Amino acid sequence: MSGRTGRRPGQSTTRDEIVAAARESFAKRGYDGTSLRAVAASAGVDPALVRRFFGSKEGLLVAALTATLSPGERLAEVMSHDLDSLGEQIIGHVLSVWEKPASRDVLIGMIRSACTNARAARLLRDFFAGQVLARLASALDDDEALLRASLVGSQIVGLAFYRYVLKVEPLASASAETLRAIFGPILQRSLTGPIDLPKRKKSG
């Protein structure tokens, strides 16, 4: 068990162990079925330590999501490329996460949790809005940047739902290569293509 995730030598391996246990629990048992106490037991530490590191189950979920998606690093990498290849970069990164069963299971667990638990849905929404969509939008020089980022988010969630939850063919068993070829241009268009909104009232 020890050192399974050990990416940052010298920095709290215990924390990493707890996050690994949390990811596993969220993946297997969802948000409702996960408790701070059980995660502590599975990581072999005292619940008080988990509480000290993460505050609450909500904190654990955010830590598990962050460890799974590394939104900061990933988006920095994605956004280091040309704006014209953003769609391709994003679907490439998304698929690289999904291709790892451990990460995929965490994400499916999160989708499932959001379906059944309003608090999990809110956490997931805040995580995506703050950690993913806002950063992605900041890369776009566009009045509708946030709408475009959300559009991309909805398309990715839709694909995940179709492929992994509903398992609708042919998307369920399409190769990563095929998905990349299809979704690269779709996402690119959503990000930088023409968008023709009805006459807007600038509200909010």
Site for a copy of itself, rule CB under 8 A: 111-112, 114-116, 121, 124-125, 128-129, 133, 146-147, 150-151, 153-159, 161-163, 165-171, 174-175, 177-178, 181-182, 185-186, 189-190, 194-198
Q: What is the closest distance, in whole angstroms, from the C-beta atom of residue 84 to a copy of itself in the complex?
A: 16
In the complex with a copy of itself, the residue whose CB is nearer, 62 or 156, is 156
Select 103 or 113, whichever has its Cβ closest to a copy of itself.
Answer: 113
135 vs 120: CA distance, rounded Å: 22
DSSP character for 142? S
> In the complex with a copy of itself, which residue's Cβ is closer, 53 or 162?
162
Give me the helices (H) in the chain, please: 13-29, 36-43, 47-54, 57-69, 71-79, 86-98, 101-116, 118-127, 134-139, 145-160, 176-192
**What is the smallest separation between the CB atom of 148 and a copy of itself, expressed in angstroms?**
9
The token pair that represents 192 in the structure block: 């930088």
CA atoms of 143 and 122, how far apart (whole Å): 26
CB 165 within 8 A of CB 108: yes
Work out how close the CB of 197 gets to a copy of itself at its nearest, in angstroms, rounded to a whole number: 5
Q: Which is nearer to a copy of itself, 1 or 197 (CB)?
A: 197
Minimum distance from residue 182 beta carbon to a copy of itself (Å): 6
